[in-house]
Amino acid sequence: MGRARRNVWVLVAAQAILGAQMSMIFTVGGLAGQSLAPNPCFATLPLSLIILGSVLSSTRLSRFMQHYGRRAGFTLATGSGALGAAISAAALWYGSFGLFMFGALFTGVYMSAQGFYRFAATDTAPPEFQAKAISYVMAGGLAAAIIGPQLVKVTSQAMVVPFFATYLAVIVLNLTGPLLFSFLDIPRTPLAPKGSVAAGRPLKVLLRQPVIIVAMICATVSYALMNLVMTSTPLAVVGCGFTEGHAADIVGAHVLAMYLPSFFTGHLIARFGKEVIVGLGLVILAASGLVALSGVELEQFFVALMLLGVGWNFGFIGSTAMLASAHKPEERGTLQGVNDFVVFGGVFMASLSSGGLMNCSGGTVEAGWQAVNLAMVPFLVAAGGALIWLMLRPREV
């Protein structure tokens, strides 16, 4: 438990400090993309390419960490995050939309690594502490929700080129990564010969397990829908006559709502069960869409985005706990990478759709915002149906 708690605190700090860059980038990325893009329909394409970078690197990064350890993988990813921010800053300086998109791909490698913090928290944790460990690490995002938007306010217009200083600040955040991860103490899982019992079950066997499949579906829907709405929010807020500062405050409140429940999500999972908490998360995501559809006043943006954050927290952490309890340590290099490939593949498609729905649906900001939120419905129905099927299915003895 001593080693497990120490690792959790290191990962909490990483989530807080390094994770702040993601709220910064998702606050300004769409606005910066809009200023560079030749067509407003492409405004959020750079944010989509961050997700694509995460998708393309998730399985490779997972296997890299299986071979060389979590510390090496996380440190490598912070270097990629710094490189992505540097390229994006250069793109803003030279006014190049293509270069801005190229930088986004490297940022995606860091984003993929941040997704593995939650799994790393369980590597040295006993079974009874795993859900709480995941929850505590996710709670580190609470500090990121404060740090990120405040840095955006200070840096977004600090230089002649808008948002240039924001990306310089992201570089500085990433440079703290090697120091943080030097305190991480997670032994590498010894590699077993492929096909042996010690190597774990084959992927095709793992992907036939109902718990694993439903966990992946619910995690994908929770994360993708959160990203779908969050990506369009700054465009909707500014488009409805509010300021960039208002957009930063709303995104900040959203990120707070994403991570604040993490202080008790693990306890709720221990008391009520993983499936119940995931189901509650899906219901709260639906409530977020209903509030967003009710109007475009500042208060409605705040409430909708805060509900969106809480729904994501319950849905994603609950799904992660389901997955973590359904595989063995020797299987994590394969399954966790595939899981995040699927999850962030869904997030990529949502992010790619977000800008088109927002800027190219109905001709007005209000119509675009409604289209974004209505798009949630079929996916919530699908995830809810899968979860109900799992809960009603007879338990295997």
> Per residue in 206-226, pLDDT tens?
888 999 999 999 999 999 999
Q: Is the pLDDT of residue 370 over 60?
A: yes
Q: Is the pLDDT of residue 192 over 70?
A: no
Q: Is the pLDDT of residue 375 over 80?
A: yes
> Per residue in 275-303, pLDDT tens?
999 999 999 999 999 999 999 999 999 99
> Residue 127: which residues within 8 A CB-CB, separation 6 or more?
325
Q: Is the pLDDT of residue 80 over 70?
A: yes
b/e string for 179-202 if b means 16 or more Cβ within 10 A? Answer: ebbeebebeebeeeeeeeeebbbe
Q: How confident is the model at residue 199 (pLDDT cuts 50, 70, 90)?
A: low
pLDDT in the model for residue 355: 74
Q: Is the pLDDT of residue 194 over 60?
A: no
> Per residue in 14-73, pLDDT tens?
999 999 999 899 888 888 888 898 887 787 788 889 988 988 898 889 889 988 999 999
b/e string for 123-146 if b means 16 or more Cβ within 10 A? Answer: bbbeeebbbbbbbbbbbbbbbbbb
Distance, in Å, from the CA atom of 127 to the CA atom of 391, rounded to the nearest integer, reads: 21
If we measure between CA atoms, which residue out of 46, 45, 115, 102 comes closest to residue 74? 115
> Per residue in 303-357, pLDDT tens?
999 999 999 999 998 998 898 888 777 777 678 778 888 888 888 888 778 877 8
pTM score, whole prediction: 0.75
Distance, in Å, from the CA atom of 2 to the CA atom of 204, rounded to the nearest integer, reads: 36
